[in-house]
Structure 1
Amino acid sequence: MKLVDKISSYSSSHPFYTFEFFPPRTDQGFENLLPRIVRMSNLNPLAISITWGAGGNTKDTSLNLAELTQSEYQLDTILHLTCTNMEKGMVDEALRAAKERGIQNILALRGDPPRGKEEWIATDPRFQHALDLVTYIRSHPEFSSHFCIGVAAYPEGHPDHLVDEETEMKLLKEKIDAGADFIITQVFYDEEKFISWVKQVRQRGITVPIIPGIMPIQTYQSFVRLTKLTGSIVPAQVMSDVDAIKHNDQLVKDYGVELAVRMIRRITTESNVSGVHFCTLNLEKSVQRVLETLKWIGHSPQVVPNKLIEEPVTSLPPSGTITPITASNTATLGLVNIPPTKTEVGSGELNKADSWDDFPNGRWGDFKSPAYGVQGPWGNNDAINPGTLSEWGNPQSLDDLTTVFLKYLLSESTTTPFSSDPILAESKLILPHLRKLTERGWWTVGSQPAADGVRSSDPVVGWGPPTGYVFQKSFVEFFCTTDDLRRIEQKVVEKGDGWVHYYAANSKGEYRTNVPEDGRNAVTWGVFAGQELIQTTIIEHQSFLAWKEEAFSIWSDWASFYRPNSPERNLLEGVHKDRWLINVIHHDYKQYEALWTFISDVV
């Protein structure tokens, strides 16, 4: 059913809400997202949305996930669709595939900006802006009447700051005049700014539904990263509140729920919006807690043509249970086989299905989590910002690249292409070791020190609830040459004694490891009062290879900012072609220097 029809038919004592999900990076994440979506469907969202990676890089998984939610689970689904960098014919293919799957709602987005703007040429010049996509759908006889179209809006201004506020408002009006039916806003935390913005939108004669984007704060690190990515303006009081509790993951999550509740209550009262859109980050517990606090769940709204019947629910499914799912068509979709289940995800190994991955720690997380490799709102990932290029200079030699990574380690620069945030306090504990490797030309992009039963409230390595202890195995990840990799492999055989595991891969698809095929390395875990043991960081084959693809794409993206055959481009493309990404783990977490002693022997 079209979203605008559902909104016009909606009649309840509380506003409606929609949920946003993104396609996970791993098969296990995909498998565990499906029952999560089923559980969250019991909260009665008016619709759900599925993100679409820039340039269609998640085309298959986005369409497969949308087909399951729309056809198999009968959830009205909004499929995000970007136009930037879409190959010729891909938009038609995506729209046709969505129509065949019974999807009637599209969120038309421009998508991430193209890499290397100086050299970029649109592969399909018809689609360079969201307006182009809206206009095309509305003018196409096959799609015009079938789709309900939504567009994005930016109450705090576009994150790329491409145009001023006045121009942004005019562009929004053009998208609506071209045939867009509803608006979903970028995530924000300044409700005062949003309320003022809505008034301006209405003064322009825009009458379509406005659905504000709400993202409950999940962790301090994800909050900082995603607000930077989206360009959100965080009120000083909110930032102060979060900073004061940033070392207590549970308090951050609790505060995120309270803040979301406060924001929703105000904006639904003062700006007269009829619903909200939750950016879930593929996590469920915080969204459920927000709805419970608002007292919006407990009834089951059922929309029928021109009428809504609100039926009382005698009992909601208990938190953590999974409604059996049907996967009769997963084989034809190319997905992993997902058998019906009545047990909790990870039962016997993980905590409750709805909250076992609530405390992701660092980049890795658990590869089985639907939130593994978390994306930003609307599917956008961290991307190289042209504005940061000057911070890295114009590297034309391997020594220049070493300087880029060394300046980051020494806090002389705040970013690298592989990290959009300043170096962490945790990394500073092992800074001499990281510096030694980088000076050798082994450019480090990930690491952590060993920790043996450190208080979970520790301001540097602590995480999760404060009443517990955390543990870490040390690992380090860097780029190196083929000869270096051979030396490391030889040293693992000679002196590893079973304590050292490594993963190595290159852009050509070659992969080497000494980890058994079914091996999984838990490198971060915690023990807390009243809970099962929590493993938040697991490094294994799938997670490493998923990250490897992203890591080498960063070299390509970086190179694309420079002219073909320039010294900078030739250097970066050469690194992409010839270097290996390697991750080395030492399992003796009781010996703080064990990994670094081993690496020193290699050096």
Structure 2
Amino acid sequence: MRIDELLDAGRSGEPIFSFEFFPPRTPEGEENLYAALRELRELGPDFVSVTYGAGGSTRGKTIEIVTRIREEFGLEAMAHFTCVNATTDDLRATLAQMQEAGISNVLALRGDPPQGQDRWTKTEGGLEYSRELVELIDREFDFAVGAACFPETHLDAVSPEADLDYLKAKADAGARFLITQLFFDNGVFHDFVARAREAGIDVPIIPGVMPISDYAQIARITTMCGATWPEHVIGELEARKDDPAAVAAFGVSYAVMQCADLLAHGAPGIHFYTLNRSPATRAILSALRLWRPWDAERTGLGEARKPPAPAA
């Protein structure tokens, strides 16, 4: 099923939940991936997504995994797709291959610079911007096209305002939904959505959440993507950094609270960055489904951000 259709159906009140995986580099890693998929499948995700390797290095593997997820696991799957190391004809050929495989959903991305390069430069005969890729897919193929967005502003953007202008151009070009970069401060997300709506971006914006499971790993990832930490979270992690089990337990607790707040205040769903692991994501999603924080009438959580009633 197309993800834009899933989101339309979810507007009746039930959020959608999705998991992101990456193509493993080794047979052992591939075995771990499919083990995680088997465990997470029991949670009934609305869709899963599979990333591209750096420089488009796992293009074929991404398509193989997405196809297997659909056929063997019975889950809807989305392929990430970038402009890196590909001419426009190459892009068209890969998109045709995806379409032939029965894939319905594509996340259109510019991609990171190829390995060994510090700055992005387009491939000769290729595309320079993700907006151009969105346009190409929307114009020539029948996919539900998603795009990425950055609550804390893309690292290459000259300003938050310019980043939003570019995001609107992607939505206008045919992106039917947006998935955010990971973040840990919900205030950043709520502010970003408000600014996006003011800018005329009206497509669903799905928050991307990465459970904290390893202190050093999450510090490295956030440094790479520019995500910031609330001060109180830094303090809690510092207090546990020498106890991996305590870090992981705190990570699950924090992600449950983070997701509950997002869902209580209108997020259409949650996209979990799983790092090809299942325990944390299983615990978080199970807790959310028991709690149902999006059901404001039952929980009252949604009242927190509503403005006070005017005085009589």
TM-score category of the 2 structures, normalised to the smaller one: 0.7 to 0.9
**What is the alpha-carbon distance in structure 2 between the residues aligned to residue 296 and residue 101 of structure 1?**
36
User: What is the distance in 2 between the residues matched to 1:155 and 1:117?
Assistant: 23
Partner of 2:308: none
What's the CA shift string for 1:339-380, capped at 9, x where partnerless?
xxxxxxxxxxxxxxxxxxxxxxxxxxxxxxxxxxxxxxxxxx
User: Using the alignment, how far apart are the partners of 2:117 and 2:273 within structure 1?
Assistant: 29
Structure 2 counterpart of 1:43: 43
Structure 2: distance between partners of 1:44 and 1:296: 14
Quote the Cα distance in structure 2 between the aligned partners of 1:284 and 1:167: 37
How far off is 1:235 after superposition?
Answer: 1.1
Aligned 8 A contact 2:87 2:125 in 1: no
Measure the CA separation in 2 of the matches of 1:60 and 1:19: 20
Contact 1:211 1:274 in 2 (8 A): yes
5 Å-filtered alignment, 1:1-400, equals 1-10=1-10, 14-87=14-87, 89-114=89-114, 115-116=116-117, 122-140=122-140, 143=141, 146-158=142-154, 160-270=155-265, 272-296=266-290
In the alignment, what sits opposite 1:419?
A: none
State TM-score, norm by structure 2: 0.88
Higher relative contact order (CA 8 A, sep 6+): 2
SS in 2 for 1:292: helix
User: Unaligned stretches of 5+ in structure 1?
Assistant: 299-603
More helix by share: 2
Q: Deviations over 1:163-196 (max 9, x none)?
A: 2100000000000000110000000001111111
Structure label with greater radius of gyration? 1
SS at match of 1:295: helix
Instruction: Describe the superposition over 1:220-249 as per-residue Cα deviations: whole angstroms up to 9, x where unpaired.
Output: 011111111111011111111101100000
Report the alpha carbon displacement of residue 73 of structure 1 after superposing the two structures with TM.
2.0
Following TM superposition, by how much is the alpha carbon of 1:127 offset from its aligned partner in structure 2, in angstroms?
A: 1.2
Amino acid at match of 2:151: P
Per the alignment, residue 302 of structure 2 pairs with none
* Offset, 1:87: 4.3
Aligned partner of 1:150: which letter?
G
Change (3 A) 1:13 1:182: closer
One-letter amino acid of the structure 1 residue matched with residue 192 of structure 2: W
Identical aligned residues as a percent: 36
Q: 1:16 offset after TM fit, Å?
A: 1.6
Whether the 8 Å CA contact 2:78–2:104 is kept in 1: the answer is: yes
Distance 2:32 2:245 in 1: 23
The alignment's TM-score, normalised by the length of structure 1, stands at 0.46
CA distance in 2 between partners of 1:136 and 1:87 (Å): 12
Matched residue type, 1:232: A
Could you tell me how far 1:205 is from its partner in structure 2?
1.9
SS across alignment from 1:217: coil
Shift of 1:296: 4.8
Aligned residues: 291
Once residues 69 and 297 of structure 1 are traced to their aligned partners in structure 2, the CA distance between those partners, rounded to angstroms, is 29
Structure-2 change in CA distance of 1:274 and 1:10 (3 Å): same
Cα distance in 2 for partners of 1:297, 1:267 equals 13
Distance 2:121 2:166 in 1: 23
Distance in structure 1 (CA, Å) of the matches to 2:284 and 2:121:
44
Structure 2: give runs of 5+ residues left out of the alignment: 293-312
* Alpha-carbon distance between aligned partners in 2 of 1:74 and 1:292, rounded to the nearest angstrom: 20
State the AA in 1 paired with 2:76.
D
Higher strand proportion, which one?
1
Give the SS at the match of 1:151.
strand
